[in-house]
Chains A and B, each alone.
Chain A
Amino acid sequence: MNILSNFQYHAPKTKAEVLDLLADIGDKSKMLAGGTDLVIMLKEKMIQTENVINIADVKELSGIKFTDNGVEIGACTTISEIENSKELVEKYGALVYAASQLGSYQVRTMATIGGNISHSSPCGETPAPLSALNATVVIESKRGERTVKPEDFILGNRQNILEKDEMVTKFIIPEPVAHSAATYGNIGLRNAMEIDAVNMAVNIELEDDKKTIKSAKLIMGSVAPKPIVSEGVPSLLVGKELNDELIEKVGEAAMSEATPISDVRASAEYRKDVVGALARRLTKEAYNKAMEA
């Protein structure tokens, strides 16, 4: 009667127990947190596994903790906890908004931020805003800890840098610097339960004059096998004040860097146009917000 193929179930209670299990059987295991990707893949026989390690109830791995320098978000923190966090909204609004755009509310009460990046779908909602907010991904194994930027974590469609004994344990997001702001936007076929045709996050930091752009970051998802960090947009913007002509060029630069495919969700041509539109809109929004920040 089972739709799912046979596997052994493990429910470790502490992070140390999880890392022990990964060291022993990590090469024959899948991690279960929210299950919104894993259980579907098991049902569809897209993957098979001998072991499922449920980490959803490991308390050390979840929660939003503010520190002197920013905030730490545990890997098993659910997307709805992020969406509903009144403390996160002010400084990390781009991430909160992206969280609110993922799946449906039921999916968001289950899905976790660690799972979203570890699944490494090209259309994941949270990697782009995490990059824009200069987050660090903390990866742990029994061998120790290492950290990477979100944009260096995903290598391609469902591929990432995790070794078989490693897991993402948390994200560290620094306090935003003065006169900076991040924005996020996504376009899909409908507002809920869609997979993004394009998503994008932008961060703009201004000089003390609150006009001249000191640094800029633009990351786009769903337009290549992994999120693309724009090289052209920062080189266009840094040292300048934003104006209409420059905004047009930002859109063109982002479009030239996107390498989308045509699939059931959107054509490559449409995706390129959306990249241009989102780049223009989000850059303008981030610039205006940074002037107030």
Chain B
Amino acid sequence: MKQLITLNINNQNYDVIVTPMDLLVDVIRKAIGLTGTKKGCGQGDCGACTVLIDGQPKLSCLTLAITCADKKIITIEGIANEDGTLHPIQDAFLDHGAVQCGFCTPGMILSAKALIDRNPNPSQKEIKTAISGNTCRCTGYINIVSAIESYANLVAEKGAK
């Protein structure tokens, strides 16, 4: 039943032994040890487990790891620049106080990055729609939306991504 597969996470290959029943979120957190991806509801409702698979935000708690063998996965650990400085969207979240307990933040940032990648100039409504599958129980969302707006403005000005 167990199989050796290669997962490409944050542009690095990881050989992992999985069963078909293993969920991507568990493999990322337990087998690989990247614990930035959070496991919240486990039902696809809260969005804390969001990762980018081939550029699209997806729920790692509803994804079988074995289905991702030939795909490119980006987790929150893969967002910062290679020299360790933060990605501008991470800076925007810090600058706007868009983080409180932090549990929703990785998923929130990945959903927001995917939004700006597909729609660099979103309206506030489009931002709210894009993060409507990411539940935050601390902030009331206002600072999160402001952070995403400021990142979108930065992308528009400087072409930063």
Q: Which residues of A contact B (CB under 8 A)?
A: 1-9, 11, 32, 35-36, 39-40, 43, 52, 54, 56-57, 80, 84, 103-107, 109-110, 191-193
Contacts and interface: CB of A to CB of B under 8 A. Distances in A.
B76 to A, nearest CB: 15
B111 interface: yes
B59 A192 contact: no
Interface string B65-91: 011000000000000000000000000
Interface string B18-47: 011111001000100000000000111101
Interface of B: 1, 19-23, 26, 30, 42-45, 47, 50, 56-59, 62-64, 66-67, 111, 114-115, 118, 129-130, 132-134
A54 B69 CA distance: 13
A7 B20 contact: yes
Contacts of B50: 106
Contacts, number: 88
B18 to A, nearest CB: 10
A39 B58 contact: no
A110 B62 contact: yes
Contacts of A106: 44, 47, 50, 57-59, 111, 133
Given A35-B63, A192-B132, A6 B44 contact: no
B62 A104 contact: no
B132 A105 contact: yes
25 contacts: A1-B30, A2-B21, A8-B20, A9-B64, A9-B66, A35-B63, A35-B64, A35-B67, A36-B44, A39-B23, A39-B44, A39-B63, A39-B64, A43-B42, A84-B118, A103-B133, A104-B132, A105-B130, A106-B57, A106-B59, A106-B111, A106-B133, A110-B58, A110-B62, A192-B132
B21 A35 contact: no
Given A4-B23, A39-B23, 13 more contacts: A3-B23, A4-B21, A6-B21, A7-B20, A7-B21, A9-B66, A35-B64, A36-B62, A40-B44, A105-B57, A107-B59, A107-B133, A110-B63
